[in-house]
Amino acid sequence: MRSVVVTSLGVLTLAGLLVPPAEAAPAVHTPPPKEVKRPVAEGYGGAVATVDLDASKAALTVLRQGGNAMDAAVAGAAALGVTEPYSAGLAGGGFLVYYDARHRKVTTIDGRETAPRAMTSTALEGIPFAEAVSSGLSVGVPGSVAQWDLALRKYGTMSLRQALRPAIEIADRGFVVDQTFHDQTQQNADRFADFTPTAALYLPGGQPPPVGSVFRNPDLARTYRELGIRGPAWLYGGDLGREIVNTVKKPPVRAGATRNVRSGLMEVSDLRAYRALERPPTKVTYKGMDVYGMAPPSSGGSTVGEALNILEAVPKIGLHEYLEASRLAFADRNAYVGDPAYTRVPLGDLLSDGFAKERACLIGPRAMPHPAAPGSPDGSYSACASAAPAASAPEEKKEGPETTHLVVTDRWGDVAAYNITIEQTGGSGIVVPGRGILLNNELTDFTFGPAPGDPNLPAPGKRPRSSMAPTIVLKDGRPLLAVGSPGGATIITTVLQILVNRLDFGMSLPDAVAAPRASQRNTAATQAEPAFTQWYGAELTALGHTLTDVPGPPAGEIGAATGLEFLRDGKVQAVAEPARRGGGSALVVGTHR
């Protein structure tokens, strides 16, 4: 154990090297650069962190105009729909965890896409995953706009129209293409080329826009503008909805394309029936702090929460215990979590101390046999029941790095942790003609089957299980941390690892975010970033762990986190990635009180 603790301190030291060095003092005659993407900012009066400078600025503008954290979260998300269109957008969905300072309560808003009413449990059976991705069939009823609307009406101070303004401006004026945007376009070029409106928007002249060029999306600017004027009903039953349904049913495939593009099942009535939902958060107590997360249909809150409870029940916490707790929590997530409107999710038991203690008993000095069997969250817990390994674990799909997460806080102390997604990088690959928006492929998050009894099989109106894990930690009833990440199922392990780095290994939040990551999701091998393997591989392998590379793209990277820490005397630290995915952008409203 001692060596692991020493190793953890090593992370702290070495992780520091991952943070860019403080900038050199500017030359006397050079004005200080105003618009640089920085991963860490500290100050007062509000703060934001996203993967992108333009999106962070959009949220900051709203805070400076007097908007609160919810207004800024919606503005930031809409801006990410412009600058990170392959990860976010109004035809996608998301989960938002919110601390309402006035009422000192944490709530969540579920904007998850739903399956259309015509979707049955066998609708995805036998379809190759890659084929399902680029199809109308995988497009879920979009949730983002209903989520923004509900969020603003219940917790915001601005109208949707106001909150969309910064995003409209970016879409009109354009943003500078960076390496990440270029690379993501390149990775998608083959399938984008097969959809006429997608190729016209994202492959001008048949090529991905070059790094350094300005990318405008006037169609999206118009779409946002009209949405602001007409309101959500324009999408949920109105003309925009009809255009989306037409596109889903008859994807605009280029003449001569050989791709098998399946048409979708969505009807305007599905859009009309869609509701964003306010749900109670998940909550676990960890080391005296309250950790709030996203409840099902996301598995984020339940899996991060269960793993933390397990860690609290083991005598010492090191990287071995982190991996084993995650393995066990994933076995339970896979067995028990789905849309609670369709599946009985034993959430209270999954998050109970009794269950965690029973599960923690399985953690020994060496890695447990693969795969871990799910436990029995049935309310009856014994001290140390031995458990045989499961015969098999569900097959894991490849986890892409996309989706995005933003955090924002305002001068009143409200806090938003917000995950947004259109699922794969570039979603379904289908742009709605004339609208500048990519359709999601969120329904590929369902289990394809056949898998009798699986809690995550498709059903009419059902929400696919998610891994998104926006998380807020309160200490003595006040915000201490907010954190989240993209990365499919690795979102859960990234959030868990950052919390363990910060709360158990004593790292600062910037170091906790920068530190090399590993992700164990009840798979035979643990995916690990190169620096993780280099530093801890020998030690963990000696304990029976197998580490494997992260395939990417981008190869070798897990997640792209953002977070906030509430320091003393009202000071807030906003944190983004220093290096992963090109680094993120943290901004504060003011540097003085």
Catalytic residues: 403
Using CB under 6 A as the binding rule, whether residue 238 contacts ligand DON is answered as no
CA atoms within 13 A on the CB side of 347: 23
User: What residues from 13 to 72 belong to the interface with ligand DON (CB under 6 A)?
Assistant: none
Using CB under 6 A as the binding rule, whether residue 293 contacts ligand DON is answered as no
Q: Binding residues for ligand DON, how many (CB under 6 A)? A: 16
Q: Which of 338, 487, 554, 556 binds ligand DON (CB under 6 A)?
A: 487
Supply the Cα-derived Rg of the chain in whole angstroms.
Answer: 22
DSSP secondary structure code for residue 474 in this structure: E
Nearer to ligand DON, 143 or 156 (CB): 143
**Beta strand 478-484 pairing with 471-475:** antiparallel
Q: What are phi and psi of 485, to 5 degrees?
A: -160, 160
From CA 233, how far away is CA 528, in angstroms rounded?
45
Answer whether 492's CB lies under 8 Å from 299's CB.
Answer: yes
Q: Which of 466, 520, 522, 585 binds ligand DON (CB under 6 A)?
A: 466
Nearer to ligand DON, 423 or 511 (CB): 423
From CA 354, how far away is CA 309, in angstroms rounded?
9
Q: Which of 423, 454, 511, 529 binds ligand DON (CB under 6 A)?
A: 423
CB of 486 to ligand DON, least distance (A): 5
**Beta strand 526-528 pairing with 547-549:** parallel
Using CB under 6 A as the binding rule, whether residue 421 contacts ligand DON is answered as yes
Which spans in 402-529 are helix H? 490-503, 509-514
Q: Which of 352, 467, 471, 494 binds ligand DON (CB under 6 A)?
A: 467
Using CB under 6 A as the binding rule, whether residue 352 contacts ligand DON is answered as no
Using CB under 6 A as the binding rule, whether residue 400 contacts ligand DON is answered as yes
Using CB under 6 A as the binding rule, whether residue 426 contacts ligand DON is answered as no
Using CB under 6 A as the binding rule, whether residue 113 contacts ligand DON is answered as no
Using CB under 6 A as the binding rule, whether residue 445 contacts ligand DON is answered as yes
Using CB under 6 A as the binding rule, whether residue 563 contacts ligand DON is answered as no
Answer whether 89's CB lies under 8 Å from 144's CB.
Answer: yes
DSSP secondary structure code for residue 552 in this structure: -
Using CB under 6 A as the binding rule, whether residue 488 contacts ligand DON is answered as yes
The residues that bridge with 566 in the sheet, in sequence order, are 572
Nearer to ligand DON, 100 or 110 (CB): 110
Using CB under 6 A as the binding rule, whether residue 147 contacts ligand DON is answered as no
Using CB under 6 A as the binding rule, whether residue 402 contacts ligand DON is answered as yes
Angle of helix 218-230 relative to helix 160-173, nearest 10 degrees? 170
Using the contact rule CB under 6 A, the part of the chain among 29-37, 283-291, 341-349, 463-471 near ligand DON is: 463-471
Nearer to ligand DON, 548 or 591 (CB): 548
Q: What is the length of the chain?
A: 593
* Residue 24: strand, helix, or coil: coil
User: What residues from 307 to 336 belong to the interface with ligand DON (CB under 6 A)?
Assistant: none
Nearer to ligand DON, 99 or 446 (CB): 446
How open is the CA angle 299-180-588, to the nearest 5 degrees? Answer: 75
Q: Which of 144, 162, 334, 403 binds ligand DON (CB under 6 A)?
A: 403
Tokens 């393997």 correspond to: 533
CB of 487 to ligand DON, least distance (A): 5
CB of 467 to ligand DON, least distance (A): 4
Using CB under 6 A as the binding rule, whether residue 84 contacts ligand DON is answered as no
Nearer to ligand DON, 192 or 535 (CB): 192
From CA 570, how far away is CA 592, in angstroms rounded?
10
Tokens of residue 67, six digits = 């908007």
Using CB under 6 A as the binding rule, whether residue 110 contacts ligand DON is answered as no
User: What residues from 503 to 562 belong to the interface with ligand DON (CB under 6 A)?
Assistant: none
How far is CA 79 from each of CA 11, 68, 394, 404, rounded to the nearest angstrom? Answer: 34, 16, 36, 12
Q: Which of 399, 410, 414, 511 binds ligand DON (CB under 6 A)?
A: 399
Which spans in 288-362 are helix H? 300-312, 319-336, 347-350, 353-360
Q: Which residue, 32, 74, 236, is CA-closest to 159?
A: 74
Would you tell me which residues interact with ligand DON (CB under 6 A)?
A: 399-400, 402-403, 421, 423-424, 442, 445, 466-468, 486-488, 491
